Amino acid sequence: MPVTAFELPERHKYQNGFGSYFETEAVPGALPIGQNSPQKPPHGLYAEKLSGTAFTAPRHENRQSWLYRILPSCAHPPFTSIADGPFKSDKPSDPARLEYIPNQLRWDPFDHEPESDFVSGLRLVAGAGDPTLKQGIGMYVYAAGKSMDDRSAFYSADGDLLLVAQEGALDIRTELGWLLVRPMEICVIPRGVKYQVHLPSGPARGYALELYQGHFTLPELGPIGSNCLANARDFQAPVACFSEDYGATASEGPNSYTITVKFNNSLFQTKQPHTPFDVVAWHGNYYPYKYDLGRFNTIGSISFDHPDPSIFTVLSALSDHPGTAVADFVIFPPRWLVAEGTFRPPWYHRNTMSEFMGLIAGDYDAKKGGQGGFMPGGASLHNVMSGHGPDANSFEGARNADLKPALVGKGSCAFMFESSLMIGVTEWGLKKCRKVQEGYSDESWGGVKVHWKRPEPAQS
């Protein structure tokens, strides 16, 4: 690969780098020089600080940006609760009603929702923790059949949202600029950043992981060295872009904009008479970004045995315990397998981590595809210590394969949200979606053959 050949051409400009300190202005001279909050910022703008970490967080962890905008974010009427929000206590996506079960789960491809936009098409499938304590994660699928209204915006106060586009492109307008996110691209929208999702290529479907604690980082490379896996230069952040729609004061204006916030897994709304997309310039290291999965520099064994799947980690959200992640985002892209005398697919496994997998395109080499199998737009969950591994047919095929160098996964990409947390499943995920494959376990492993043969007694 090294770069994905996308059907939809790029339409925006970006700044390249991960965790970098950027500055960008849509109007020359909009950024103040030498200070962040002058008495009178250039061009009559307001200075607003957006903090993604505590003020006193260590410098290498500190995330914050300064925005220079036409009107400050605080200029809006009070928010009110949305009575029919998808996370209310009487709804099947209610995170307070998670069911924790040890069974292996797999879902057929989730339905498209032609009448939904991105926000109304978000469905919480599984999760753990509590956003009020800034601990845990939420695992979603989304399905949208229409763009969000041009006079609307959404943000989450609960956490950073990692989006995995599976079908259909997302053209995302954020306060800090635009991101075009196509299948085989991901993006991360930080906690608090307002955005609006358009569908330039028609209906869209995909997956999302909301991180209630901390932020995503690149995994340490250790003895791998200074390059490989996801390289920092391949991440892309937006450049400043703004609209002008306002009145003489913040309470006046020719139009009305609906702002929706996800706050403790509930939705609230307000309406304001000025656009939220009025950031003329910004600088800092707290911003949305995207990444082309085709640029991931895969590594693997060139001698024997199958290494741990952690070698496929793109992004990691660390816990307080070194080497243990609240969430890892892992991919299984096209790659060459050359290990000698080795069972090449992933081995059978019981894991202290939970593994939620999805398929962006193609087939996964350790599971059968097609109807009733692991299909693009579907998912699986193998919870803490739930056994999993290749299905019976995949095992027999790999056990008897001619071990020549082989390119696997061409035209395919699977991914995994791996977490140290025990994952609960919503009522929607278990029942209402009607996508759970009831025969998954038996069809996958019920036919696993016994190859054991007791050795003959040694001859004297």
Q: What is the pLDDT of residues 265-300, one digit of tens each?
A: 999 999 999 999 999 999 999 999 999 999 999 999
pLDDT for res 93: 64
Catalytic hit among 198, 215, 283, 382:
382
CA-to-CA distance for 295 and 292, rounded, in angstroms? Answer: 6
Whether 274 is catalytic: no
How, if at all, do strands 170-174 and 235-238 pair? unpaired
Instruction: Kindly list the distances between the CA atom of residue 429 and the CA atoms of 66, 119, 127, 222, 259, in Å, as whole numbers in the listed order.
Output: 39, 17, 11, 38, 28
Instruction: Kindly list the distances between the CA atom of residue 42 and the CA atoms of 31, 68, 284, 330, in Å, as whole numbers in the listed order.
Output: 7, 9, 18, 43
459 Cβ neighbours under 8 A, 6+ residues apart? none
Taken in order 120, 264, 208, 6, is the CA torsion positive or negative? positive
Whether 349 is catalytic: yes
pLDDT for res 3: 87
- Tokens for 374, please give them: 């692991």
Q: What is the pLDDT of residues 347-364, one digit of tens each?
A: 999 999 999 999 999 998
Catalytic hit among 113, 349, 396, 443:
349
Catalytic hit among 306, 396, 427, 443:
306
- Which residues of the chain are modeled with pLDDT < 70? 1, 85-93, 458-460
Whether 388 is catalytic: yes
pLDDT for res 367: 79
CA-to-CA distance for 182 and 393, rounded, in angstroms? Answer: 33
Whether 43 is catalytic: no
DSSP assignment of 193-219, as one string?
--EEEE-TTS-EEEEEEEESSS--BPP
- Tokens for 142, please give them: 């989304």
Whether 244 is catalytic: no
42 Cβ neighbours under 8 A, 6+ residues apart? 29, 30, 31, 32, 68
Catalytic hit among 215, 274, 283, 388:
388
The pTM of the full predicted model, rounded to 2 decimals, is 0.95
Q: Which of 203, 156, 162, 158 is nearest to 179 (CA)?
A: 162
